[in-house]
């Protein structure tokens, strides 16, 4: 299985498309970023684990419905919230738990606009808050999930 650990602000929500949405008490996803992510999912068949602060105060079901409104059905989990820990540590915990549960994670990438991944730095594809998942980011993510050997 391929996993994408996905941030939202600066990845799907961008500064160039700051539109408040009443539907889910947050900002709308930037349609161009959504299209680029959909293309990644079609090509790689990766599943999404949400690592964004959007998971705070929301259930997985609520997150899934926010993604479904945007035509994305591949959200299978969210990372645990660990008080005071960097995001990379929360992702590591999720990975350890998945492997212990018998999931076969063969490749993964982290898409985030902040570098706080610690020992998982090599898996980060960094975005900018202005443009989120751009075409360049899309190409890098596909390359990491399809062509690179890792884990
Ligand atoms: Mg962010």
- Render pLDDT for 34-93 as a digit per residue (tens, 0 to 9): 999 999 999 999 999 999 999 999 999 999 999 999 999 999 999 999 999 999 999 999
Q: How far apart are CA 46 and CA 40, in angstroms?
A: 8
CA of 101 to the centre of ligand 1 (A): 28
CA of 10 to the centre of ligand 1 (A): 5
Better pLDDT: 5 or 116: 5
Q: What are phi and psi of 90, to 5 degrees?
A: -65, -40
CA of 97 to the centre of ligand 1 (A): 24
- The number of folded domains in the chain is 1
CA of 116 to the centre of ligand 1 (A): 10
CB 125 within 8 A of CB 95: no
- Render pLDDT for 104-121 as a digit per residue (tens, 0 to 9): 999 999 999 999 899 999
CA of 112 to the centre of ligand 1 (A): 6
In CATH, what number is assigned to the domain containing residue 141?
3.40.50.1000
Query: What pLDDT shows up at residue 147?
Result: 78
Q: Does the structure show a pLDDT above 70 at 150?
A: no
CA of 8 to the centre of ligand 1 (A): 6
Query: What pLDDT shows up at residue 116?
Result: 84
Q: How far apart are CA 87 and CA 59, in angstroms?
A: 18
Print the domain residue range for 117.
2-147
CB 15 within 8 A of CB 128: no
Query: What pLDDT shows up at residue 148?
Result: 65
Reduced to 3 states (helix: H, G, I; strand: E, B; else coil), residue 112 is: strand
Q: How far apart are CA 28 and CA 3, in angstroms?
A: 23
- Enter the pTM of the model: 0.94
CA of 93 to the centre of ligand 1 (A): 19
CA of 7 to the centre of ligand 1 (A): 5
pLDDT bracket for residue 149 (50, 70, 90): low
Q: What are phi and psi of 112, to 5 degrees?
A: -155, 155
């Amino acid at each position: 299985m391929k996993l994408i650990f996905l941030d939202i602000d600066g990845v799907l929500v961008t500064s160039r498309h700051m539109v408040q949405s009443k539907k889910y008490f947050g900002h709308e996803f930037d349609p161009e970023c959504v299209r680029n992510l959909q293309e990644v999912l079609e090509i790689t068949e990766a599943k999404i684990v949400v690592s964004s602060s959007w998971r705070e105060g929301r259930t997985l079901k609520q997150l899934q419905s926010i993604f479904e409104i945007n035509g994305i059905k591949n959200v299978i989990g969210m990372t645990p919230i660990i008080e005071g820990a960097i995001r990379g540590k929360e992702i590591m915990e999720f990975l350890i738990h998945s492997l212990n549960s018998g999931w076969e994670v063969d490749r993964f990438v982290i898409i985030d606009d902040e570098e706080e991944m610690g020992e998982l730095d090599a898996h980060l594809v960094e975005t900018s808050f202005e443009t989120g998942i751009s075409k360049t980011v899309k190409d890098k993510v596909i390359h990491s999930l399809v062509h690179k050997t890792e884990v």
